[in-house]
Chain A
Amino acid sequence: MMVKKVLHSLTLNGEEVQVATAAGATLLQTLREDLRILSSKRGCNQGVCGACTVLVDGTPVRACLTLTARCEGHAVQTMEGMDGDRVMATLQRHMVQSGGVQCGFCTGGVLISARDLLEADPTPSREAVKTALSGNICRCTGYRTIVDAVCGAAEELSQ
C-alpha cells in the first residue's frame, strides 16, 4: 500500500492553504497529521463522540466523518481560528467559571456545538441546550456545569 498524496486547496481559519494529504483522508487526519491543527480530537473516529467537531462553511461537522476532498474550496474553521469571536469568547469564559472543563478532551467540540446553537437561538431553554449538546459526549462533568455555562453565556450575550 503506497500511500498516494493528493493536493487540496481550502481556507483554514481564514487563510488559503494547499495541503498534500493521503488520498481518502478524513478532515480529522488532514488537520492533525498534515496541518498540525490539534484542537480537533480523535475520540472515536466514528462520528459518535463529537470531540472532532469543526466548522465547514460555518456549519459544525464531524471532522472524522468528513473527507478532506469534500472540503476542496470550502472554509474550515477550528478552535485555533476562533480568536475575536465574541460568542465563543463568552462561552469560553463561562465554561472556565462554571467548572464545565474537566479533562478538556470534549471541550472544543462542546464549545463549537454550543456556539452554533447560540447563533441559531440566542435564548435557548435548558432543554434546547441539552439537545444541542447531545452529540458531544463528556465523561467527566455529568453535563450539569456545561449546560450552566452555555445558559450563562446566552444570558450574558442577549443582554
Chain B
Amino acid sequence: MSLDQPEPIFVGGTVGQSVAKTDSLEKVQGRAEYIADLYRPGMLHGAILASPHAHARIRGYDLSEAMQAPGVVAIITGDDVGEGRMGAFIKDEHAIAKGKVLYVGEPVAAVAARTEEEARHACRLIKVDYEELPAVLSPEEGLARDAPILHEHLAEYIKVFDAGSDGNLCSRTELSEGDVDAAWADCDVIVEGEYTTQPQAHVSMEPCGALAEVDAAGRVTLWSANQSVFRVQANVCESLGLPMSRLRSLTPRVGAGFGNKMEPHIQPITVALAMKAMRPVKLILSREEDFEMVRARHPYRVRMKTGAKSDGTLVARECEVLVECGAFADDSPGVMGYSLLMCGGPYRIPHMKASGKLVYTNKLRFGAFRGFGNPQVLFAGEQQIDQIGEKLGLDPFTIRRRNLLRRGDQWFVGPRIGSNGLGRCLDAVEQAAKGARADGSPRNFGLAVTAHISGLLGTGAIVRMLEDGTISLNTGATDIGQGSDTVLAQICAEELKLPFDQVAVASPDTDGSPYNWGTTASRVTYTTGRAVKAAAKKVVDQAMDHAAEILDCDVADLELREGGRIGRHGSNTDVTFAQISGRAHWAAGGPLVGSETLVFDEPTHDPKRAIALGLPFPRIGVFSFAALGVDVDVDDTSGQVSVHEAWSAADVGRAINPRLVEVQLHGGFVQGLGYSLYEEMVWDGARLANPSLMDYKVPTARDVPDAIHTFIIEDPDPTGPFGAKGAGEIGLNAAPGAIANAVARATGARHAHLPLTGERVLAGMLDPGALQD
C-alpha cells in the first residue's frame, strides 16, 4: 500500500485500518497541552546556570548576590543533592554537577523565581569558583596513557552488566562466532575501510522541560516531556535519594522524542528546585540549552572488513568501533553493544567478529537516537556489500539476495529470526525503481537493507470495562506523537470486537499505570501491544463467564459478536457488554478488569554458537526488516547532493495502522537524509559551535523529495499482536548507506565520512581514487 493512492479513513476502524490519531483534533486546534503549557497555582519558573568549562573542579559557590535578585525564591547547586547517581547502564550521573563539571553546558546551579526572565537574570549573578582541569575531547585522547580521568570513582559505580570499565573506558563489548582470522584465507574478495560518522542532534521541535510540585506531606508530582514516566521516576529517585513511592510521574502531550527524552534531562533539577522552594516550579529549556545539555547521536569510528567467495557468498566480517560517550554513560553501552549485534546486517555470514570501546569525553552525553547505533555501522557495512558486488559484477539486489538471513536462521550471536519479509521488501523496491526517470535520464541509484529489533524489557496493560460496557485502557506508554495511543486502542478494540472509539486510553501515570519501560527501541506496538491483546482477552473471558451465567449455558456455546455483544451460537439472543458490566459492578463477580505484564525473555546470546563479552542486552526482541532505494542528483559545480526519489519498503509484520507506519517511514527517512547530507554538531574546542537552528540545519519542506514511496510488507510475526512488529526506527537506519551507495554510483567515489557534504562529494569527484577504500 502506498500513499500514492490515498486510502479512505475509517472512523470505526480497528486493526489494519488507517484511523486518524486520537490526539489529532486537539493538535490541529492548538489545544493540546505540552509541558510548557502547564501552569500551577503559585508556580515559579526555573532557569539553569551552565558550566563554562569542559572539565573543572568546583571549589565553591557564592550565591549571595543571586539570592538578592528580584523574584528569586530558591537556588540549588551540587550541595543540595546527595551522593545519589543515576544511569540506565552505569550509575555515574548526579542530578546536577557535584564536585566537578564534565562538559561545557553542564548544569551547575538552578534558580527558581517569579518569572523565567528573573530566574535567568539571577543565574548570571551566581559565582562559581572553578579549578580548571585538562579536558578529554576525543575517544583517542581519552584512551591515551596520561589522559585526565573524568570519573575517578568509576570502579565503585553500580553497573547493570559486565562493562569492563577502566580509566576513561566506560565499557567494552566483544562478540564473535566462527573463526574470522582463519576465514580470510577462504575469501576471493575482501574489502576494508575505516569510516567516521558525526554527532547528530535530535531537534525534537519541543525543547525539554519539566514541572514539579511537592504536596504537604512531601510527596512530589512531576510532569515532564518524556518517553517514559517510569524512567523519569527511577532517574529522579536514584539521583535525589527519594523512595520511588514518594514521586508521581505524569506526562502531558510530548512534542516528539527520537531518543532524547527517554532518559533524564532536567527532571531531577526541577524536582530539587521545587523541594527547596516548596512551590511548584516549571523549567523549560531554550533551544540552545536543549542542544547543549540533553544528548545527541554518537559519533563513531568504524573499522570494517568483509570477505566473500567469487560467487558473492559472504564468508567473514570484522568490525571494530570506537565510540565517543560524552560525560555520562546514559544509554551509550546499550547503543554500542546493539550496533555490534547489528554490524553484520541481515546476512548469513558464518565468521563474524565485532568489538567496541566506549570512551568518556568532556562533551555532553551521547545517547539513544532513532536507530540506536545501527545507522553508523550500516553506513560502513552496506557500502562494503556494494563494493563486493561491484568487484564480482553482481548488482546490488543480487549480491544481497544471495546472502539474506531467512526465517528460522540465527542472527549474529544467537537470536532466532521469526518472520522475515526482507526478500519481499527488495522485490518491492526493485520493481518500483527499475528503469529510467520519467524524463528518460538514468538513475543514480543506491540501495541498502537493514533490520531492527522490537521487544525490549518490561511492559504491562490494564483493560477495564466501565459500567456501560465501554473500555478504559491503561498501559503507561507515553505517546510521543507517533500514535501509540491510537494503535494500542486499535489492538484493544479488535480483541474486544468493539468500535475503536469506545476504547479510551489513559494518560501514563506512575501511580496508576502498569510499568512500561518506555516509548523507545521501536517497542510499543509489539511488546505493549502483546500485553494489551492479552489483557483484553482476559476481559473477554470474564465477560463470557457472565454471559454463560446470564444465558444459562456453557461458555463453549458462546461467541463474541461485533459491537460488544455475546450470544449463543446459532441463536439471535445475546447480552451486551453494558448488561454484563452492570451485573459485574452491582450484583455478581465484581468489575471486569484484565491485566497482563510481560518481558521479552528469549536470550540474545547462544553460548553454543558465539562468544559474548560485555553484552548490555541479554534479551532484545523480534526483527523487523527494510530495504531502501534512493536516486540522487549531484550538482557538478558544488558537489551538493539531493535526493530525487526514494523507495522505502518495510516488513513490520502487520501494520495495525498503515498510515501511521507510512509516516514513520517518511519521517525516519527525512531525518536520515539530514544525517546523511548535512546535519552535524560541530565543536570548537570544548564548546559546541552551532547550538541553534540558524547554524544547525535540519531538512525543511523544500529539501525533501516529493516522491518518497513507501511499501508496507506484512510477514506476520507469530508472537506479535495480530502479527505486528516495530516500525519506529527502521525507516532511518538505511539512509546513510543507501545515499552513500547512490553517490558512489553518481560520482564514482566512495565516501568514508558522514555527512556527505557538497565539499566532500566535490573532492571525491575531482579525485575519486584518493578516497577509495
Where the two chains meet, the residues of A that have a C-beta atom closer than 8 Å to any C-beta of B are 1-3, 22, 32-33, 36, 38-46, 48-49, 51, 78-80, 91-92, 95-99, 101-108, 111, 126, 129-131, 133-148
Q: A104-B28, A105-B205, A136-B700 are in contact. List 4 more A-B contacts (CB 8 A).
A: A42-B284, A43-B206, A103-B254, A105-B481
**Is B745 in the interface zone, CB < 8 Å from A?**
no
- Which residues of chain A come closer than 8 Å to B32, judged between CB atoms? 104
Whether B206 lies near A101 (C-beta < 8 A) is no
Whether A108 lies near B30 (C-beta < 8 A) is yes
Whether A1 lies near B39 (C-beta < 8 A) is no
Cα of A129 to Cα of B18 in the assembled complex, Å: 25
B693, closest chain A residue (CB): A48
- Which residues of chain B come closer than 8 Å to A3, judged between CB atoms? 70-71, 115, 117-118
**Is B16 in the interface zone, CB < 8 Å from A?**
no
Cα of A48 to Cα of B287 in the assembled complex, Å: 11
Q: Is the interface of A mostly helix, strand, loop or mixed?
A: loop
* A-facing residues in B270-317 (Cβ within 8 Å): 284, 286-287
**Is B690 in the interface zone, CB < 8 Å from A?**
no
Cα of A79 to Cα of B30 in the assembled complex, Å: 6
- Which residues of chain B come closer than 8 Å to A134, judged between CB atoms? 700-702
* A-facing residues in B179-220 (Cβ within 8 Å): 202-207
Q: Which of B6, B206, B660, B670 contacts A41 (CB 8 A)?
A: B206
CB-CB under 8 A for A142 and B663, given A2-B70, A101-B24: yes
Cα of A154 to Cα of B29 in the assembled complex, Å: 19
- Which residues of chain B come closer than 8 Å to A108, judged between CB atoms? 30
- Which residues of chain A come closer than 8 Å to B559, judged between CB atoms? none
Whether A99 lies near B286 (C-beta < 8 A) is no
**Is B256 in the interface zone, CB < 8 Å from A?**
yes
B702, closest chain A residue (CB): A134
**Is B698 in the interface zone, CB < 8 Å from A?**
yes
| Proximity bits, B31-56, A CB within 8 Å = 1, else 0 | 11110110100000000000000000
Cα of A147 to Cα of B6 in the assembled complex, Å: 13
Q: Which of B27, B36, B254, B660 contacts A42 (CB 8 A)?
A: B36
Which of A44, A79, A111, A136 has the largest number of chain B CB atoms within 10 A? A44
Whether B659 lies near A45 (C-beta < 8 A) is no
Whether B256 lies near A103 (C-beta < 8 A) is yes
Q: Which of B207, B254, B698 contacts A137 (CB 8 A)?
A: B698
30 A-B residue pairs with Cβ-Cβ distance under 8 Å, sorted by A, are A33-B115, A40-B30, A45-B286, A46-B694, A48-B692, A49-B287, A78-B30, A79-B29, A92-B28, A98-B659, A99-B663, A102-B482, A102-B483, A103-B254, A105-B481, A126-B706, A129-B701, A137-B693, A137-B700, A138-B205, A139-B202, A139-B203, A139-B667, A139-B698, A141-B667, A142-B667, A142-B671, A143-B666, A144-B704, A145-B666
Cα of A103 to Cα of B254 in the assembled complex, Å: 7
Cα of A97 to Cα of B25 in the assembled complex, Å: 10
**Is B258 in the interface zone, CB < 8 Å from A?**
yes
**Is B366 in the interface zone, CB < 8 Å from A?**
no
How far is the CB of B358 from the nearest CB of chain A, in Å?
A: 27
How far is the CB of B678 from the nearest CB of chain A, in Å?
A: 14
**Is B341 in the interface zone, CB < 8 Å from A?**
no
How far is the CB of A125 from the nearest CB of chain B, in Å?
A: 10
- Which residues of chain B come closer than 8 Å to A135, judged between CB atoms? 700
- Which residues of chain B come closer than 8 Å to A44, judged between CB atoms? 287, 692-693
CB-CB under 8 A for A148 and B207, given A1-B69, A1-B121, A126-B706: no
- Which residues of chain B come closer than 8 Å to A133, judged between CB atoms? 700-701
Q: Which of A95, A129, A147 contacts B28 (CB 8 A)?
A: A95
Cα of A50 to Cα of B662 in the assembled complex, Å: 25
Whether B3 lies near A144 (C-beta < 8 A) is yes
CB-CB under 8 A for A140 and B667, given A101-B24, A105-B255: yes
Q: Which of A46, A105, A130 contacts B256 (CB 8 A)?
A: A105
Whether B69 lies near A139 (C-beta < 8 A) is no
**Is B480 in the interface zone, CB < 8 Å from A?**
yes
Q: Which of A22, A41, A144 contacts B708 (CB 8 A)?
A: A144
Interface size on B, residues (CB 8 A): 68
| Proximity bits, B2-35, A CB within 8 Å = 1, else 0 | 0100100100000000101101111111111110
**Is B253 in the interface zone, CB < 8 Å from A?**
yes
Which of A43, A51, A91, A136 has the largest number of chain B CB atoms within 10 A? A43
- Which residues of chain B come closer than 8 Å to A91, judged between CB atoms? 28
CB-CB under 8 A for A130 and B205, given A45-B286, A78-B30: no
Q: Which of A41, A46, A78 contacts B34 (CB 8 A)?
A: A41
Whether B702 lies near A131 (C-beta < 8 A) is yes
Whether B117 lies near A22 (C-beta < 8 A) is yes
**Is B411 in the interface zone, CB < 8 Å from A?**
no
**Is B577 in the interface zone, CB < 8 Å from A?**
no
- Which residues of chain B come closer than 8 Å to A80, judged between CB atoms? 30
Whether A107 lies near B663 (C-beta < 8 A) is no
Whether A39 lies near B204 (C-beta < 8 A) is no
* Nearest 9 interchain pairs by C-beta: A103-B481, A39-B30, A104-B27, A79-B30, A142-B666, A105-B255, A142-B670, A103-B256, A48-B693
How far is the CB of A78 from the nearest CB of chain B, in Å?
A: 7
Cα of A139 to Cα of B694 in the assembled complex, Å: 15
- Which residues of chain B come closer than 8 Å to A107, judged between CB atoms? 27-28, 30
- Which residues of chain B come closer than 8 Å to A139, judged between CB atoms? 202-205, 256, 258, 667, 671, 698
- Which residues of chain B come closer than 8 Å to A140, judged between CB atoms? 205, 256, 481-482, 663, 667
Cα of A147 to Cα of B666 in the assembled complex, Å: 12
A25, closest chain B residue (CB): B117
Cα of A38 to Cα of B31 in the assembled complex, Å: 8
Cα of A145 to Cα of B630 in the assembled complex, Å: 19
**Is B669 in the interface zone, CB < 8 Å from A?**
yes
- Which residues of chain A come closer than 8 Å to B3, judged between CB atoms? 144-145, 148
How far is the CB of B111 from the nearest CB of chain A, in Å?
A: 13
- Which residues of chain A come closer than 8 Å to B663, judged between CB atoms? 99, 102, 140-142, 145
Cα of A142 to Cα of B669 in the assembled complex, Å: 7
Cα of A42 to Cα of B117 in the assembled complex, Å: 15
How far is the CB of A138 from the nearest CB of chain B, in Å?
A: 7
* A-facing residues in B466-485 (Cβ within 8 Å): 480-483
Whether A102 lies near B698 (C-beta < 8 A) is no
Cα of A112 to Cα of B37 in the assembled complex, Å: 20
* A-facing residues in B586-621 (Cβ within 8 Å): none
- Which residues of chain A come closer than 8 Å to B28, judged between CB atoms? 91-92, 95-96, 101, 104, 107, 111
